[in-house]
Every structure is written in structure tokens, then in C-alpha cells.
């Protein structure tokens, strides 16, 4: 009798030791997928030539659990998360770093699935994996794998994003359904299956930002509502400012499965992370044109105007379906750990 698990190729501690097995992992798994760019000569640092000296730089670590979830995995999430941070800050994403922390015993097949997703996601966003690193930690650490991506983007000169440019009566837009990512991961982690259970919205938003360029100064500010969801972003935008924001519950785009799951779990969808949406504040006069432009893209089909900037200093409110108003607080943060 053979034991099939003994024959499963797995990650060993020595794959992270900088010796022969590290070199083999890079040769067999990294270079075939990412060796077409500046990473090819495996230098200590990638040599890049920029088209502009004005750049954006960001980083994110991904510790999502489980690493494979409905609608995506830690690999595409790590690419889109960093691409999106560059995009909503007004940049054209160009290069990413890819740093893997792998658990000893991780099946090689899982790593391959994740790296395939990284490769495909990077291609979809026209970014190159420029540099990387791999470490291995002992069994029981890191739940399979963690990924860090840092990213460099080139500043888009048409956009001047600054929350201090926001004015009363400006419009608040979102590019699609909210809350899908957080609830998809939570359902997978807790083993909750319901009809129409959500898929993660993990996706790049760089094209949504690209079409927004033509509206120039009408675009005041953008964020991707990831950790802390729409509630955290709105409070961050309005915090300490002379303006507030009021959101219309009736206008919030929410998929039926996400709504059902949030009700079942008693979660406020406004605090649930998205991983493929843009939240934009733009001038009242520009709002319809931005929505029309977004809706020409598949990733913007569900775009909606969800609220308005008010003169109510620093207050973020929800106009409820029942006709009431309530304050939208900053989420505490403990309800949805390890969602990205």
C-alpha cells in the first residue's frame, strides 16, 4: 500500500534557506511565471526606468484565511489589493514586488495555484512582478502562506485627489456591490453555506480610475473600501473636516446573497470589506457622467450614487429605509479579522 500524502510534493524549510532548494524553487516556480520582466536576472534589486519622476508607492500584507475562497485566492487578492491602492491614489500601476512566507508542509500544488493567480492577475492589470522574496517558517505558523506585495505606480497628472477639495453637495459614488468580499471569506472560513452565497469581488479597479481621468478636477477623492468597509472610509474622509456625509440606505448596491448572510450573522454591511470597488467623491455636476462612464465597463456595471456631502461637520449618517437617520460609526475591527 502506498500513502498518497507521502508522495505529495511539499514545501520544506530548506526552500527558504537561500541554498540549493531555494534556487530550485525560484527556477521551477518563479521564473517560468514572472521571468519575462526585470526579475529575470534575479538581482538584489530590480532595475526600472520610469516615464515620470512622480510616483506612488504602497505596500500590503495578505494573511487571509482561508487562502483559497469563493471568487478568488490570496494570490489575486495580493495583486489587486496593491494595484487598487495605487489606482485610487491617482496612479497607473506599473511594478509589484512579491514576497512569500510559506509554511513548511504547504502542498506545492497550493503554491502553484496561488502563483498562477498572481501571474494572471498581474497580466490583467498590465503590471510586472519586478522583484521577490521567499521565506519558509515551521509547521503551524502562517496558516499555509502569507503574501506581501508592494507596488510602484506613475502619477496620473489629470487627477488631483485631496479630501480637502471636497465640498458640500458633492456626490458619493461606489462602483459596484458592497460587502461581497468580506462575507465570502467569512462564509468560507466558518463553513456557512446558503443559497446565493456571495463570491468575493476581488478585482482590479485601475480601469475605473483610468476612465475617471477625463473628469479631472471634478474627481475630489477616491478610496477602495477594504478593511473597515465603506463605514471606515467615510469616517476617514470626513474626520476633522467641516463637512459630513449622508448615505441613503435605499441606494446601496448589495447582492441578495450578501444581504441574507449579513442579516443572518448580524453584521452591518457598511463595515464589511470590498476588494474590487472604488468609493469616489466627485462634484455634484460630474456625478452622472462618471456613473455613465463607469457603467460602460463590466466592473462598473453596478455603480451607484449612494450619498451626498453635507455641511454637518465630520458626521457620517445613514438615511435608513424606514425614514430614520443614524450615525455610521467606525467599526471596532474585531468582527472581521483576516479578511485580507
Residues 163-222 that bind its own copies (CB under 8 A): none
State which residue, 21 or 108, has the beta carbon closest to its own copies: 21
Pick from 119, 181, 223, 277 the residue near its own copies by CB under 8 A: 223
Question: Kind of pairing, strands 128-137 and 91-103?
Answer: parallel
State which residue, 69 or 308, has the beta carbon closest to its own copies: 69
What value, to the nearest 5°, has the Cα angle with vertex 295 and ends 198 and 272?
A: 30
By CB under 8 A, is residue 268 in contact with its own copies? no
Would you give the binding string for its own copies spanning residues 81-100, x where CB under 8 A is met? ---xxx-xx-x---x-xxxx
Pick from 106, 115, 125, 150 the residue near its own copies by CB under 8 A: 150
Q: Among 145-153, 187-195, 204-212, 288-296, which window interacts with its own copies (CB under 8 A)?
A: 145-153
State which residue, 237 or 308, has the beta carbon closest to its own copies: 237
State the nearest-atom distance from the C-beta of 107 to its own copies, in Å. 19
State which residue, 2 or 49, has the beta carbon closest to its own copies: 49
Would you give the binding string for its own copies spanning residues 98-117, x where CB under 8 A is met? xxxx----------------
Near its own copies in 30-69, by CB under 8 A: 38, 43-63
**Is residue 25 within 8 Å of 133, Cβ to Cβ?**
no
Pick from 28, 133, 169, 263 the residue near its own copies by CB under 8 A: 133
State the nearest-atom distance from the C-beta of 163 to its own copies, in Å. 9
Q: Measure Cα distances from 300 to 16, 38, 197, 291 in Å.
A: 41, 32, 21, 8
The count of residues interacting with its own copies (CB under 8 A) is 83
Q: Measure Cα distances from 25 to 20, 42, 73, 295 in Å.
A: 9, 13, 21, 43
State which residue, 174 or 308, has the beta carbon closest to its own copies: 174
By CB under 8 A, is residue 9 in contact with its own copies? no
Residue 128 belongs to what H/E stretch? strand 128-137
Near its own copies in 277-316, by CB under 8 A: none
Q: Among 14-22, 106-114, 166-174, 303-311, which window interacts with its own copies (CB under 8 A)?
A: 14-22
Q: Measure Cα distances from 111 to 19, 108, 119, 127, 205 in Å.
A: 19, 5, 12, 21, 25
State which residue, 143 or 248, has the beta carbon closest to its own copies: 143
Listed in sequence order, the residues at least 6 apart from 137 whose beta carbon sits closer than 8 Å to its beta carbon are: 16, 101, 102, 103, 104
By CB under 8 A, is residue 132 in contact with its own copies? yes
Nearest C-alpha neighbor of 310 from the set 199, 205, 185, 166: 166
Pick from 228, 244, 286, 307 the residue near its own copies by CB under 8 A: 228
By CB under 8 A, is residue 71 in contact with its own copies? no
- Number of neighbours of residue 31 by Cβ within 10 angstroms: 14
By CB under 8 A, is residue 138 in contact with its own copies? yes
Q: Measure Cα distances from 190 to 186, 193, 261 in Å.
A: 6, 9, 12
State which residue, 146 or 243, has the beta carbon closest to its own copies: 146
Say which DSSP state 155 is in. Answer: E
State the nearest-atom distance from the C-beta of 112 to its own copies, in Å. 20
State the nearest-atom distance from the C-beta of 322 to its own copies, in Å. 26
By CB under 8 A, is residue 5 in contact with its own copies? no
Q: Is the dihedral of CA 179, 184, 190, 193 positive or negative?
A: positive
Query: How far apart, in whole angstroms, are the C-alpha atoms of residue 180 and residue 257?
Result: 9
Nearest C-alpha neighbor of 95 from the set 69, 58, 61: 58
Amino acid at each position: 500500500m502506498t500513502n498518497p500524502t507521502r508522495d505529495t510534493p511539499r514545501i520544506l524549510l530548506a526552500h527558504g534557506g537561500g541554498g540549493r532548494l531555494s534556487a530550485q524553487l525560484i527556477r521551477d516556480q518563479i521564473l517560468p511565471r514572472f521571468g519575462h520582466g526585470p526579475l529575470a536576472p534575479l538581482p538584489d534589486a530590480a532595475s526600472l526606468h520610469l516615464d515620470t519622476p512622480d510616483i506612488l508607492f504602497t505596500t500590503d500584507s495578505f494573511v487571509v484565511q482561508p487562502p483559497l475562497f469563493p471568487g478568488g485566492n490570496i494570490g489575486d487578492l495580493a495583486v489587486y489589493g496593491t494595484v487598487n491602492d495605487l489606482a485610487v491614489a491617482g496612479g497607473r500601476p506599473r511594478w509589484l514586488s512579491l514576497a512569500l512566507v510559506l509554511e513548511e508542509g504547504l502542498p506545492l500544488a497550493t503554491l502553484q495555484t496561488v502563483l498562477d493567480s498572481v501571474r494572471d492577475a498581474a497580466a490583467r492589470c498590465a503590471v510586472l512582478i519586478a522583484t521577490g522574496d521567499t521565506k519558509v517558517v515551521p509547521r503551524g505558523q502562517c496558516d499555509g502562506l502569507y503574501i506581501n506585495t508592494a507596488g510602484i505606480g506613475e502619477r496620473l497628472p489629470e487627477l488631483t485627489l485631496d479630501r480637502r477639495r471636497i465640498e458640500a453637495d458633492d456626490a458619493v459614488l461606489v462602483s459596484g456591490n458592497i460587502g461581497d468580499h468580506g462575507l465570502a471569506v467569512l462564509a468560507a472560513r466558518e463553513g456557512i453555506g446558503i443559497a446565493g452565497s456571495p463570491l468575493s469581488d476581488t478585482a482590479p479597479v485601475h480601469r475605473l480610475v483610468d476612465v475617471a481621468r477625463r473628469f479631472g478636477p471634478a474627481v475630489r477623492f477616491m478610496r477602495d473600501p477594504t478593511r473597515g468597509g465603506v463605514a471606515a472610509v467615510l469616517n476617514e474622509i470626513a474626520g476633522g473636516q467641516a463637512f459630513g456625509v449622508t448615505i441613503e440606505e435605499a441606494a446601496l448596491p448589495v447582492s441578495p446573497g450578501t444581504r441574507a448572510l449579513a442579516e443572518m450573522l448580524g453584521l452591518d454591511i457598511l463595515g464589511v470589506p470590498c476588494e474590487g470597488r472604488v468609493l469616489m467623491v466627485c462634484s455634484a455636476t460630474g456625478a452622472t457622467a462618471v456613473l455613465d462612464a463607469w457603467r460602460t465597463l463590466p466592473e462598473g456595471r453596478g455603480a451607484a450614487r449612494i450619498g451626498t456631502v453635507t455641511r454637518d461637520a465630520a458626521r457620517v449618517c445613514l438615511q435608513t429605509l424606514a425614514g430614520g437617520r443614524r450615525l455610521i460609526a467606525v467599526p471596532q475591527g474585531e468582527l472581521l479579522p483576516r479578511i485580507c
